[in-house]
Amino acid sequence: PIPADILSAFDYERHARARLPTDVWAYIDGAGADGITKRWNREAFDRIPLAGRVLADMSEASTAINLFGMEMNMPIILAPTAFHMLVHPEGERATVVGASAAKAWMSVSCQASVSLEEIAAVSETTLLFQLYMQQSRDDTLRLVRRAEAANYRALLVTVDAPVNGVRNDEQRAGFRLPPHVRAVNLDGMPSPVSRAGPGESPVFKGLLDRVPTFADIEWLRRQTSLPLLLKGIAHPDDAERAIGCGVDGIVVSNHGGRTLDTLPASLDMLKDVAARVDGRVPLIVDGGIRRGTDVLKALALGANAVMIGAPILHALAVGGAVGVLHLLTILRAELEVAMALTGCRGVGEVEEGVLAERRLSGR
Ligand code: FNR
């Protein structure tokens, strides 16, 4: 049973922290370096006041949207997060059951702890596969073909983590994967290793010999007819180049503050990217979204949908599939309240007018 005092995403976070081993918590909660971007992600939402509107007609109001030609009943997608078996014995199998019950789309991490086929087998929702480009194109292509065969409906290529961020929280806690948890979908695929000797570049030598570039995205675009999204775009110029590669969508993200610390808040990056993209491809944003009002603000500033990462793991840790369903139900209800009280009958009506003081959010 779900503890009765859990009413919000923050409540799930508090319960998960109390329940999980400290090293696992450090992995899930740990940010890059000093955690500044992670803090900014939240502050950017909190800074923006909303414009309340009254007496609007809300008959037939709906949170439904259409993305890549597919219907979705709310603009909230599960972000890809690695190793769900760290927090629940069923891992991603439980997550996808909860997401399916909520009819929410789920992204499956390349580093899932359950095979992508097994997750698809118990899924009753739309699945997206998050791909990390592998060292060899053959390995990358094998993953793409498996995702296609298992009926994944889009590829989300994460481009902001060719190396791990500086994860001091994890290092201090001495986090290591337990023996029963690994990235099963990558079995047999080599991960890059540093070949640096004393006094040599610790990261540049070896680790980054074969990092993906925009040329690889152009190549990947030719290999599949699935919608292709790049996740981790942080700059309008990179959004422009992504569109030039023929991508179908962009996920504006700073990886929840886990990669490069002091990147801007995701909401601030969204504004810049949305201005440049100007509606040419759909935009999704993630990082720090914890309330329905956060979703509303992201939609108002140019996102077509949002993704949530860590809160899903918190809910999974506390309540398994039921926890995931409960959290998604809470977030959807909060979004509906926010839409009702700002007079928005549909997601398409959520625009900058719902923000009271746009200038307060400027940096
Ligand atoms: C992540 N994220 C992530 N992203 C990705 O593309 N592949 C991955 O395997 C992971 N793994 C992962 C693990 C954990 C524990 C977290 C918290 C995050 C990043 C994730 O997709 C998303 O960008 C952020 O989590 C969004 O920020 P919030 O919602 O967690 O604040």
Contact 285, 251 (CB under 8 A): yes
pLDDT tens digits, one per residue of 184-226? 999 999 988 888 999 999 898 888 888 899 999 999 999 999 9
- Tell whether ligand 1 has an atom less than 6 A from the beta carbon of residue 77: no
Where helices occur in 73-213 by DSSP H, the ranges are 92-102, 116-121, 137-149, 168-173
231 CB neighbour count, 10 Å cutoff: 26
- Tell whether ligand 1 has an atom less than 6 A from the beta carbon of residue 28: yes
Contact 291, 63 (CB under 8 A): no
Contact 134, 143 (CB under 8 A): yes
Take residue 262 and report the two structure tokens written for it. 């002091």
For the chain, give the percent of residues with pLDDT over 90. Answer: 92
**50 alpha-carbon distance from chain centroid:** 24
Instruction: Please determine, for residue 177, whether its predicted confidence score (pLDDT) is greater than 70.
Output: yes
Q: Is 255 a catalytic residue?
A: yes
- Tell whether ligand 1 has an atom less than 6 A from the beta carbon of residue 87: no
Where helices occur in the chain by DSSP H, the ranges are 9-19, 22-29, 36-47, 92-102, 116-121, 137-149, 168-173, 214-223, 236-244, 266-277, 292-300, 310-341
User: What residues contact 58, with CB distance under 8 A and at least 6 apart?
Assistant: 340, 343, 345
pLDDT tens digits, one per residue of 14-69? 999 999 999 999 999 999 999 999 999 999 999 999 999 999 999 999 999 999 99
Identify the residue whose C-alpha is closest to ligand 1 atom 11.
Answer: 81
**Helix pair angle (9-19, 22-29), 10° resolution:** 140
- Residue showing tokens 């890549």: 68
pLDDT at 208: 84
pLDDT at 216: 97
Is this prediction's ipTM beyond 0.85? yes
pLDDT tens digits, one per residue of 91-146? 999 999 999 999 999 999 999 999 999 999 999 999 999 999 999 999 999 999 99
Name residue 300's amino acid: A
Give the mutation target among 43, 258, 295 for probing the ligand 1 site: most ligand atoms within 8 A of CB.
Answer: 258
- Residue showing tokens 């939609």: 299
Q: Phi and psi of 73, rounded to 5°?
A: -85, -5
As a whole number of angstroms, the distance between CA 130 and CA 147 comes to: 10
Higher pLDDT, 363 or 334: 334
pLDDT average, residue stretch 344-357? 94
Instruction: Please determine, for residue 8, whether its predicted confidence score (pLDDT) is greater than 70.
Output: yes
Instruction: Please determine, for residue 283, whether its predicted confidence score (pLDDT) is greater than 80.
Output: yes
β-strand partners of 252: 233, 285
- Tell whether ligand 1 has an atom less than 6 A from the beta carbon of residue 63: no
Ligand 1: atom nearest CA of 130 is 6
Ramachandran assignment for 353, one of left (phi > 0), alpha (psi -120 to 50 degrees), beta (any other) = alpha
Name residue 144's amino acid: V
Q: Phi and psi of 60, rounded to 5°?
A: 60, 30
pLDDT at 358: 56
- The full DSSP string for 52-110 is ---S---TT----EEETTEEESSSEEEPP-S-GGGT-TTTHHHHHHHHHHHT--EEEPT
- Tell whether ligand 1 has an atom less than 6 A from the beta carbon of residue 107: no
Distance 55 CA to ligand 1 centre (A): 39
- Tell whether ligand 1 has an atom less than 6 A from the beta carbon of residue 231: yes
As a whole number of angstroms, the distance between CA 4 and CA 15 comes to: 11
Instruction: Please determine, for residue 86, whether its predicted confidence score (pLDDT) is greater than 90.
Output: yes
Label residue 363 by pLDDT band (50, 70, 90). very low
As a whole number of angstroms, the distance between CA 218 and CA 239 comes to: 14
Of 116, 130, 182, 189, nearest to 159 by C-alpha is 130
Lowest mean pLDDT segment, chosen from 150-159, 191-200, 249-258: 191-200
Of 149, 111, 104, nearest to 126 by C-alpha is 104
> Over the chain, what is the mean pLDDT?
96
Long-range contacts of 313-316 (CB under 8 A, 24+ apart): 313/16, 313/28, 313/81, 313/84, 313/87, 314/9, 314/12, 314/13, 314/15, 314/16, 314/28, 315/9, 315/12, 315/16, 315/98, 316/84, 316/87, 316/88, 316/94, 316/95, 316/98
Identify the residue whose C-alpha is closest to ligand 1 atom 24.
Answer: 256
